Amino acid sequence: MDKTLLSTYFIMGSNNVSRPPLEVLEEALIGGITLFQLREKGENALTGDAYVEFAKQCQSLCQKYKVPFIVNDDFDLAVQLDADGVHVGQSDLNATVIRPQFKGKILGVSVHNLEEMQNAIQAGVDYVGIGPVYATSSKADAIPPSGTKMIKEASQRFPAMPIVAIGGLQAEHTAEVLQAGADGLSIISAIASAEDATAATQSFVNAVKNI
Ligand code: 3NM
């Protein structure tokens, strides 16, 4: 995949915001996010028809701004909506099962050690997510943060595999994370909770540009 798509990767579910979620997403798109992942998980997450309808609305907004639309975890929904990609964790449907049924689409996996990364590469994923870099309150079952250690090890061992960093990231972490070997930052709260998601996104976009 084109690694630059990972540079400012916004992730959001309807429960990550205290304003209308589509308003926040549109602000982030205007600000210049390069990829969007719908992650509808946890307390008060939408289900059933409301979930599918919300996903469709997010997808059409992304299409309007020509930003690829990725679905977290739910491969069936990704296929149903003809999404641009799917992102799975270690306890979700395995990438080796998804890959042959999802050719030409973006497939990302969260990894936490080099063995998981090796397996993801063998499965033919397009990128890996590594985190949490810093403490996060957006994922209840996140493992303890490990700074940029794993990103450094992973990028040295597997230099060709695109890496996106995740977990507690603010715009001021951009240089540190990219210099460690990541190709981009994925962000929930620093954009989703911002009063002005366009300005928050621009601070990430500008930080990446200035490296
Ligand atoms: N995955 P925020 S951390 C969705 O470590 C997710 O794999 C993580 O949200 C991992 O930017 C995380 O608000 C939450 O910290 C990131």
| Ligand 1, atom 7, residue with closest C-alpha | 131
pLDDT one-digit tens code per residue, 7-24: 999 999 999 999 999 999
Indicate if the pLDDT at residue 211 is higher than 90. no
Using CB distances shorter than 6 Å, the residues near ligand 1 are: 11, 110, 129, 131-132, 136, 138-139, 142, 166-169, 187-190
pLDDT one-digit tens code per residue, 98-109: 999 999 999 999
110 is annotated as an active-site residue: yes
**Cα(125)–Cα(118) distance, integer angstroms:** 10
Query: Is the CATH number 3.40.47.10 carried by domain 3-209?
Result: no
Q: Which residue of 16, 174, 188, 191 sits with most ligand 1 atoms within 8 Å of its CB, as the best mutation to test the pocket? A: 188
Place of tokens 């690829």: 68
Centroid of ligand 1 to alpha carbon of 103 (angstroms): 27
pLDDT one-digit tens code per residue, 133-158: 999 999 989 999 999 999 999 999 99
99 is annotated as an active-site residue: no
Q: List all residues 6 or more positions away from 56 whose beta carbon is below 8 Å from its beta carbon.
A: 81
Domain positions in the chain are: 3-209
- On the question of a cis peptide bond just before residue 145, with omega within 30 degrees of 0, the verdict is no
* Residue 121 Cα distances to 53, 59, 62, 96, 182, angstroms: 33, 27, 28, 10, 16
Q: Which of 39, 105, 155, 186 is catalytic?
A: 39
pTM beyond 0.90, yes or no: yes
